[in-house]
Amino acid sequence: MNRRNAFTLIELLVVIAIIAILAAILFPVFAQARDKARQTVDISNQKQILIAILAYTQDYDEMLPLGQVGPVHWDGNINTDAEGDGINDEIDPYIKAGVPWGPERKSSIWADPSDSYQRDDCDGAPGIGVGYDISYGFTRYDPEQPLRGFGVFGYRLHRDGSDWSSLTLAGVPKPGSTIIMYPWWNPNNYSRFYATTRYNMGDLLVFPVYPKALSIGDVCGDGYNWLFSIGGHNGISDFGFLDGHVKAMPASRLWNVDPTTGLWNQQPPNMMAWSDQYNTN
């Protein structure tokens, strides 16, 4: 009697179907595990930056660093100098991220490994002269517009060119429940400039959480579409608090949104607001 040594077509198809089913089940699990590992890096990055901010404040009489230092001084030259100084420059002595200009780099603690957006300095092409990527924004303080600038870092200038001060540690009643740092992924956030923020903090939740994005088009005329996202890992974003801890949570928990405008409804609670009036967490 001859023994059959080959699979039949039906048997091969069954094996292929089983492999396809297993792949469909396992690949999303592997992708989630990989993003979870990247989120761990992101949380570590934020903690190091927060520790550097707190170290800075101890050296400067508990005054928080400025979000923007002086006016922007872009000269149109590629890879020559920084075009704006901000919090990333002020706390660099505590971090040592390196030279802030040159070709695009995604390897410093300022970059979330899941942040895939190229930076664009309008110098001919994305990634030219932008330095290391920054994946984080910092809340803005503006006592003249408390419903827009309800954060802690000074970003504006007086008319005489002097800086608008940031808050002090003593000026924030609840550092353990006040978010000062958030994931902010977009082509405009790079070290040759400064860590960008929203000048109207209350519109932050208009922007979707990655991988969704809001497109504002080809800003530089170089063929690159600018996308803006609140950074996220499997739908969860990481937020840094003034006391130095980092918490992973849905961005929608920051505040209540007015359904007609998509903006903060100006009612408590607001987890980014420094004042007891709005930070009731």
If we measure between CA atoms, which residue out of 259, 261, 239, 258 comes closest to residue 248?
A: 239
Q: pLDDT band for position 171 (50/70/90)? A: very high
Say what the pLDDT of residue 134 is: 97
Q: How many residues are given for the chain?
A: 281
Distance linking the first and last C-alpha atoms of the chain? 81
Q: Write down the pLDDT at residue 58.
A: 96
User: How far apart are alpha carbons 256 and 154 in whole angstroms?
Assistant: 24
181: which 2 tokens?
Answer: 């740092």
The whole-number pLDDT of residue 73 equals 77
**Assigned domain for 18 exists:** yes
Average pLDDT of every residue of the chain: 90
Domain annotation covers residue 260? no
CA dist., res. 281 & res. 276, Å (int): 9
Residue 186 falls within a domain, yes or no?
A: yes
Residue 239: the pLDDT is: 98
Residue 132 confidence (pLDDT) above 80: yes
Structure tokens at 164: 């608008």
Question: Does residue 179 form part of some domain?
Answer: yes
Q: What is the pLDDT of residue 252?
A: 96
pLDDT in tens, 68-99: 998 887 766 665 677 889 999 999 999 988 88
User: Residue 51 contacts by C-beta under 8 Å, 6 or more apart in sequence?
Assistant: 94, 244
pLDDT at 3: 57
Within a 10 A sphere around the Cβ of 236, how many other Cβ atoms?
15
**In this structure, is residue 261 part of a structural domain?**
no
Decide if pLDDT at 27 tops 70: no
> What range does the domain containing 136 cover?
9-253
How confident is residue 102, by pLDDT bands cut at 50, 70 and 90?
Answer: confident
Residue 96, number of CB atoms within 10 A of its CB: 9
Domain count, the chain: 1
- For 159-169, write each residue's pLDDT tens digit: 777 778 999 99
pLDDT at site 25: 73
- For residue 239 the two structure tokens come to 């937020």
The residues, ordered by sequence, that sit 6+ positions from 222 with a Cβ below 8 Å of its Cβ are 120, 122, 124, 125, 126
Collapse the DSSP code of 249 into the 3-class scheme (helix H, G, I; strand E, B; otherwise coil) and give the result: strand
Residue 2 lies in a domain: no
Give the DSSP per-residue string, 47-76.
HHHHHHHHHHHHHTTTBPPPSEES-----S
> pLDDT tens across 43-53, in order?
999 999 999 99
Q: How far apart are CA 229 and CA 209, in angstroms?
A: 5
pLDDT tens column, 179-217: 999 999 999 999 999 999 999 999 999 999 999 999 999
- Side-chain-side CA neighbours of 86 within 13 Å: the count stands at 26
Identity of the amino acid at 142: D
Question: How confident is residue 135, by pLDDT bands cut at 50, 70 and 90?
Answer: very high
Q: How buried is 55 (Cβ within 10 angstroms: 0-12 exposed, 13-18 middle, 19+ buried)?
A: middle
Determine the Cα–Cα distance for residues 194 and 201; give it in Å rounded to an integer.
17
**Residue 228 domain flag:** yes
SS3 43: helix
What is the predicted pLDDT for the residue at 36? 81
What pLDDT, in 10s, does the model give residues 222-281?
A: 999 999 999 999 999 999 999 999 999 999 999 999 999 999 999 999 999 999 999 987
How confident is the model at residue 280, as a pLDDT?
A: 85
197 in Cβ contact with 180 (< 8 Å): no
Integer Cα distance of 134 and 142 in angstroms: 23
Beta bridge partners of 238: 248
Beta strands at 179-185 and 226-230: parallel, antiparallel or unpaired: antiparallel
Would residue 219 count as lying in a domain?
A: yes
Helices (H) and strands (E) in the chain, counts: 2, 10
